[in-house]
């Protein structure tokens, strides 16, 4: 059996947690997947998985071997991309991760338009709050909001979205309208963990920059839950305009403290650092960087 194929099967089994799941992903039979693993264990003279009637798990040696296999497969992929000059046309499967709200409302429509130009390309999209392990999860491109802390990744700015502080008319009628950042300390501020820093809102006025520590009755790792809470009168939110824009237009939310400047939220495309970038990654990043400002009114 081909060693690289067996290594790939091993990685898929480890990630899927079952021979059946890996076989489905690879389009082979369960028996063939099992045969590849048995061949590897025979060649290595060690057991890679602990097997029971219900599940499997990696042995200590298997965990170490998994890390090596992932790196070997990545090196082979890069070598093949270099030899073929990165492919002239995007093809294969493009795996993308994005935060749920911007993924569903902005990235998904962009993907629909992008795919029309590349019939040999398909997309797997994962909507997930927070940052992902691109290598471990096999993600080609991740969309990140805010600053990038991992210097091992390549980050390309796509656009910037303005942030808006707003609340429902009912909330403002009952609790009053904050006029200055310090007034927020007396209000319920609904917090979106996806926008760092987690519980601090920053403003810039004629007296300079101010950072206010806010608290409130609800927190979430994505914007939509607290947007709905704000619409229902539970407090103030600071959210990107692409999330609250329609509610503001319909009068469900009212912008406040508009005399103060708020640093916009930067949106990045992030991918593993590779010398030879595949055509599918390069072309989509180019596309989305042009598409977002044109279609959404975001700042380039």
Over residues 152-173, the pLDDT tens digits come to 778 889 999 899 999 999 999 9
Q: Is 160 helix (H, G, I), strand (E, B) or coil?
A: strand
What residue ranges of the chain have pLDDT lower than 50?
Answer: 86
pLDDT at 276: 60
214 Cβ partners below 8 Å, 6+ apart? 184, 185, 189, 191, 199, 200, 201
Q: What's the pTM value of the predicted model, to 2 decimals?
A: 0.65
8 Cβ partners below 8 Å, 6+ apart? 26, 69, 73
Q: Please, what is the Cα angle at 18 between 139 and 73, to 5 degrees?
A: 40
Nearest to 230 by CA among 165, 167, 172: 167
pLDDT at 188: 95
Distance, CA of 272 to CA of 111 (rounded, Å):
20
Distance, CA of 210 to CA of 281 (rounded, Å):
39
The Cβ of residue 145 has, within 10 Å, a number of other Cβ atoms equal to 24
pLDDT in tens, 179-216: 999 999 999 999 988 777 778 898 987 777 888 999 99
From residue 112, give the alpha-carbon distance in Å to each of 32, 39, 249. Answer: 36, 42, 26
Q: Is 59 helix (H, G, I), strand (E, B) or coil?
A: coil
Distance, CA of 150 to CA of 31 (rounded, Å):
40
273 Cβ partners below 8 Å, 6+ apart? 152, 153, 154
pLDDT at 275: 57
pLDDT at 82: 62
Percent of the chain with pLDDT over 70: 95
Q: Find out whether 66 and 10 touch, Cβ atoms under 8 Å.
A: yes
pLDDT at 208: 78
pLDDT at 84: 60
Please list the alpha-helical segments (H only) found in 103-222: 108-115, 134-137, 169-175
Distance, CA of 241 to CA of 163 (rounded, Å):
6
As a dihedral over the C-alpha atoms of residue 131, residue 136, residue 138, residue 143, rounded to 10 degrees, the angle is 10
């Amino acid at each position: 059996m081909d060693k690289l194929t067996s290594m790939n099967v091993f990685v898929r089994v480890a990630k899927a947690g079952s021979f059946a799941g890996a076989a489905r992903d690879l389009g082979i039979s369960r028996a063939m997947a099992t045969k590849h693993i048995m061949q590897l264990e025979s060649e290595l003279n060690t057991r890679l998985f602990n097997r029971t009637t219900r599940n499997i798990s990696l042995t200590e040696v298997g965990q170490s071997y998994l890390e090596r296999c992932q790196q070997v497969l990545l090196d082979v992929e890069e070598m093949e991309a270099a030899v073929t000059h990165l492919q002239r046309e995007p093809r294969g499967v493009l795996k993308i991760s994005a935060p749920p709200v911007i993924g569903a409302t902005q990235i998904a429509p962009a993907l629909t338009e992008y795919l029309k130009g590349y019939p040999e390309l398909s997309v797997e999209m994962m909507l997930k709050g927070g940052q992902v392990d691109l290598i471990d999860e096999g993600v080609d491109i991740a969309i990140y909001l805010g600053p990038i802390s991992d210097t091992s990744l390549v980050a390309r700015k796509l656009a910037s979205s303005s942030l808006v502080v707003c609340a429902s008319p009912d909330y403002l009628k009952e609790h009053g309208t904050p006029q200055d950042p310090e007034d927020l300390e007396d209000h319920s501020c609904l917090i979106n963990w996806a926008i760092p820093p987690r519980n601090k809102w920053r403003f810039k006025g004629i007296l300079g920059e101010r950072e206010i520590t806010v608290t409130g009755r609800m927190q979430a790792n994505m914007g939509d839950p607290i947007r709905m809470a704000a619409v229902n009168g539970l407090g103030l939110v600071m959210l990107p305009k692409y999330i609250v824009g329609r509610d503001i237009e319909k009068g469900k939310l009212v912008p406040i403290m508009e005399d103060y400047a708020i640093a916009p939220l930067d949106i990045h495309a992030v991918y593993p650092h590779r010398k030879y970038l595949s055509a599918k990654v390069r072309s989509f990043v180019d596309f989305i960087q042009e598409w977002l400002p044109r279609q959404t009114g975001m700042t380039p």
